[in-house]
């Protein structure tokens, strides 16, 4: 497995483009990704009961495990917009599919931005007319696509790998409202491997549970969270044996984990990436919820921003997580420094522990010492700027 340059258009048969359409004042805000052939496809979507119109449509469109195009606007979420929102999402799919000469049901529609405002369809129609003639397989097109889906993000987030002769490439957006129980996040993954729809779905669900469902920025779950994967098979490499399936799953895990970490690192106002590893848990669920509780704790996140090695907040988060624990056995490390042993402070000088918190990447390791299960989760610190950014975000 090798990380390569080129973005999503490095995948064979993929074209795309991102433009400034007018959904936002200045920045790129609209993109289309198109495969020359119909793809096997799968998706995982928000569990928020106020699901946005595009989520409702895409769930239905993906029921046959096929897709050929992805379209996304940034600036308007098309969430809580009633029947008009559904109609606008369907019309968007129809307009794009007619221009591309594909089935409407094979065009997946996404939106991100402010909730509760209807999509400006005149801008949408113009955006589609402008973008489709510009679709191309260039690195610049990939960069435009990755940029056009952003909202409060500071940087674009993408990764492309070559694995066993095929390519997997992913882009994502997400900065605030990140507490997925799938992630605010959109993620599009493209591959030219030939993967059966059932294997694709199984692999995606597994990878999402190891990555996007283990990040938290602010504890909110968006109305629009979506992760989709399209596989067009144009590499002519079939994922048709247990060995190839295992290799594909590992590669997809890597892509999803790297993208999830990029989201956590770019959390609104964030200055540090936090990774929490929980070992020695009694069950896998215990390991998962304990590590997630630590990186989700506002008190832990605030302490890390303030570079205060307040280990009590870490132990408290594990304690309320619901994971089984024996307080007298728990150990906690900051980096390589043991700060809690047998459930008590290890007597490490505060200034020594503080040095670990002055780094940009913070590693917290918890050992429950009551079992064999492990898990990791990622988050970011909670700074003054988080409140400022969200207080000033247009509603």
Q: Is 279 labelled as part of a ligand binding site?
A: no
Q: How far apart are CA 213 and CA 378, in angstroms?
A: 10
Q: Is 173 labelled as part of a ligand binding site?
A: yes
pLDDT, mean over the chain:
92
Q: How far apart are CA 80 and CA 51, in angstroms?
A: 8
Q: How far apart are CA 55 and CA 111, in angstroms?
A: 9
Q: Is 250 labelled as part of a ligand binding site?
A: no
pLDDT cut 90: percent of the chain above it: 78
Count other C-beta atoms under 10 Å from residue 395's C-beta. Answer: 7
Residue 68 vs residue 219, higher pLDDT:
68
Positions marked active-site: 184
Q: Is 151 labelled as part of a ligand binding site?
A: yes
Q: State phi, psi for 149 to the nearest 5 degrees.
A: -90, -5
Average pLDDT over every residue of 333-353: 95
- Domain 2-265 in CATH 3.90.25.10: no
Predicted local confidence at residue 33, as pLDDT: 99
Question: What does DSSP assign to residue 305?
Answer: H
Q: Is 283 labelled as part of a ligand binding site?
A: no
| CB < 8 Å & 24+ apart, contacts of 301-306 | 301/274, 301/379, 301/380, 301/381, 301/382, 302/381, 302/382, 304/272, 304/274, 304/357, 304/362, 304/381, 305/271, 305/272, 305/381, 305/382, 305/383
Q: pLDDT digit string (tens) for 186-207?
A: 999 999 999 999 999 999 999 9
* Residues linked to residue 377 through DSSP beta bridges, in sequence order: 276
| Fold (topology level) of 273-392 | Ubiquitin-like (UB roll) (3.10.20)
Q: Residue 342: left if φ>0, alpha if ψ -120 to 50, beta else—which one?
A: left
Predicted local confidence at residue 334, as pLDDT: 96
Predicted local confidence at residue 312, as pLDDT: 96
Domain extents in the chain: 2-265, 273-392
Q: pLDDT digit string (tens) for 19-57?
A: 999 999 999 999 999 999 999 999 998 878 888 999 999
């Amino acid at each position: 497995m090798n990380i390569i340059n080129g973005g999503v258009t490095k995948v064979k048969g993929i074209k795309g483009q991102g433009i400034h359409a007018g959904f936002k004042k200045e920045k790129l805000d609209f993109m289309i990704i198109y495969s020359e052939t119909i793809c096997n496809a799968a998706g995982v979507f928000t569990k928020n009961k106020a699901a946005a119109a595009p989520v409702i449509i895409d769930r239905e469109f993906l029921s046959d495990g096929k897709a050929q195009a992805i379209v996304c606007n940034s600036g308007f979420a098309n969430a809580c917009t009633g029947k008009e929102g559904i109609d606008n999402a369907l019309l968007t799919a129809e307009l794009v599919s007619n221009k591309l000469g594909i089935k409407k049901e094979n065009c997946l529609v996404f939106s991100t931005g402010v909730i509760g405002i209807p999509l400006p369809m005149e801008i949408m129609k113009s955006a589609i007319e402008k973008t489709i003639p510009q679709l191309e397989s260039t690195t610049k097109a990939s960069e435009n696509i990755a940029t056009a889906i952003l909202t409060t993000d500071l940087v674009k987030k993408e990764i492309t790998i070559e694995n066993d002769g095929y390519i997997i490439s992913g882009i994502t957006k997400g900065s605030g409202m990140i507490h997925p129980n799938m992630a605010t996040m959109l993620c599009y993954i493209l591959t030219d491997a030939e993967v059966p729809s059932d294997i694709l779905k199984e692999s995606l669900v597994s990878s999402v549970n190891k990555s996007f469902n283990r990040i938290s920025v602010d504890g909110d779950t968006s109305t629009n969270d979506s992760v989709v994967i399209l596989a067009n098979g144009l590499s002519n490499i079939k994922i048709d044996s247990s060995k190839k399936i295992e290799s594909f799953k590992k590669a997809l895990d890597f892509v999803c984990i790297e993208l999830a970490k990029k989201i956590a690192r770019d959390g609104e106002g964030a200055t540090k990436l936090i990774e929490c590893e929980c070992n020695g848990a009694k069950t896998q669920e215990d390991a998962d919820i304990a590590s997630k509780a630590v990186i989700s704790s506002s008190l832990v996140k605030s302490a890390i921003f303030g570079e205060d090695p307040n280990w009590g907040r870490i132990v408290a988060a594990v304690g309320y997580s619901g994971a089984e624990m024996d307080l007298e056995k728990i150990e906690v490390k900051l980096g390589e420094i043991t700060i809690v042993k047998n459930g008590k402070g290890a007597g490490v000088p505060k200034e020594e522990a503080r040095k670990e918190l002055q780094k940009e990447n913070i590693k917290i390791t918890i050992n429950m010492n009551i079992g064999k299960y492990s898990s990791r989760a990622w988050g970011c610190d909670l700074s003054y700027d988080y409140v400022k950014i969200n207080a000033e975000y247009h509603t």
